[in-house]
A and B are shown apart, each in its own frame.
Chain A
Amino acid sequence: MGSALAVAVVLAALIAVLLGVSPAALVATLGARFGPYAWGQVLFRATFLTFTGLAVALAFQAGLFNIGAEGQAVVGSLACAVVGAGLAPLPGVILLPAAVAAALAGGAAWGLLPGWLKARFGTHEVINTIMLNFIALAGSNFLMTRYLALPETVRTADVGASLPRLDNLVPGLHGSAVNASLWLALAAVLLAHAFLHHTAAGFKLRAVGRGLIQARTAGIEPGRRIMLAFALAGGAAGLVGTNFVLGYKHYYEDGFTGGIGFLGIAVALVARNEPLGIFPAALLFGFLAEAGLVVNTLLPREMVDVLTGAILLAFIVAERLRRRGGRDLLGGRRPNRAGGPEPPGAGAGPVLRGAAP
Chain B
Amino acid sequence: MALATRGGARAPEVRLERITKRFGATLANDEASVRLEPGTIHALVGENGAGKSTLMRILYGLLHADCGRILIDGVETPILSPAQALARGIGMIHQHFMLVPVMTVLENIALGAEGLRGLRALPRARLARELAELFGHYGFDIDPQAHVADLGVGERQRVEIGRLLFRGARLLICDEPTAVLAPPEVRAFLTILRRFRDEGRTVVLITHKLGEVLEVADRVTVLRGGRVVGEMEGAELDRDALVRLIMGDAGAAPSRTAAAVPIGAAPSRQVQRAANRGEQPMLAARELTVRGAGGRVLLERVSCAVHAGEILGVAGVSGNGQGELSAVLAGRLRFDEGTLQLGGCHYSAGQLPDAWQRPALIPEDRSSEGLIGPLRLWENLLLGRTQEAPFLRRGWYTHRAARAWARPQIDRFSVTPCDETLTADALSGGNQQKLLCARELLRGRRLLIANQPTRGIDITSTAFVHTVLRDFRATGGSVILISADLDEILALADQVAVLYRGRLGAAAPRADLDVEALGRAMVGLVAARRSSG
Let me know if chains A and B touch directly in the complex, using CB atoms closer than 8 Å. yes
| A residues apposed to B, CB below 8 Å | 197-201, 203-204, 206-207, 210-211, 213-220, 324-325, 327, 330-333, 336, 338-339, 354-357
Does B382 interact with chain A (Cβ within 8 Å)? yes
Within 344-370 of B, Cβ neighbours of A (below 8 Å) are at 352, 355, 358, 361, 363, 367-370
Residues B372 and A354 in contact, CB atoms below 8 Å apart:
no
- Pick the residue among A197, A215, A356 that contacts B372 (CB under 8 A): A215
- Pick the residue among B332, B367, B392, B439 that contacts A338 (CB under 8 A): B367
Residues A207 and B375 in contact, CB atoms below 8 Å apart:
yes
CA distance A206 to B379 in the complex (A): 10
Does B425 interact with chain A (Cβ within 8 Å)? yes
Q: What distance in Å separates the Cβ of A11 from its nearest Cβ neighbour in chain B?
A: 29
- Pick the residue among B363, B374, B386 that contacts A217 (CB under 8 A): B363
Chain A: which residue is nearest B373 at the CB level? A333
Known: A331-B374, A356-B355. A214 touches B369 (CB 8 A): yes
CA distance A217 to B386 in the complex (A): 14
Does B371 interact with chain A (Cβ within 8 Å)? yes
- A338 to chain B: which residues have CB within 8 Å? 367-369, 372-373
Known: A339-B372, A356-B358. A198 touches B398 (CB 8 A): yes
- Pick the residue among A201, A217, A336 that contacts B332 (CB under 8 A): A217
- B24 to chain A: which residues have CB within 8 Å? 324-325
Chain B: which residue is nearest A328 at the CB level? B374
- A210 to chain B: which residues have CB within 8 Å? 372-375
| B residues apposed to A, CB below 8 Å | 24, 331-334, 352, 355, 358, 361, 363, 367-375, 379, 382-384, 386, 389, 392, 395-399, 423, 425, 439
Residues B331 and A356 in contact, CB atoms below 8 Å apart:
yes
- B358 to chain A: which residues have CB within 8 Å? 219, 356
Contacts beyond the supplied A203-B379, A217-B332, A218-B439: 12 A-B pairs with Cβ under 8 Å: A198-B399, A199-B397, A200-B395, A207-B372, A207-B379, A210-B375, A215-B372, A218-B383, A219-B358, A219-B384, A354-B334, A355-B332
CA distance A210 to B375 in the complex (A): 8
- A324 to chain B: which residues have CB within 8 Å? 24
CA distance A57 to B439 in the complex (A): 29
- A332 to chain B: which residues have CB within 8 Å? 373-374
Residues A333 and B425 in contact, CB atoms below 8 Å apart:
yes
- A204 to chain B: which residues have CB within 8 Å? 386
CA distance A207 to B384 in the complex (A): 10
The 5 residue pairs across chains A and B that have the minimum distance between CB atoms = A218-B384, A211-B372, A331-B374, A219-B384, A200-B386
Residues B368 and A200 in contact, CB atoms below 8 Å apart:
no
CA distance A325 to B367 in the complex (A): 16
CA distance A355 to B328 in the complex (A): 10
Residues A214 and B368 in contact, CB atoms below 8 Å apart:
yes
Q: What distance in Å separates the Cβ of A150 from its nearest Cβ neighbour in chain B?
A: 46
CA distance A305 to B334 in the complex (A): 50
- Pick the residue among A200, A211, A327, A356 that contacts B397 (CB under 8 A): A200
- Pick the residue among A201, A207, A355 that contacts B333 (CB under 8 A): A355
- B382 to chain A: which residues have CB within 8 Å? 203
Chain A: which residue is nearest B335 at the CB level? A354
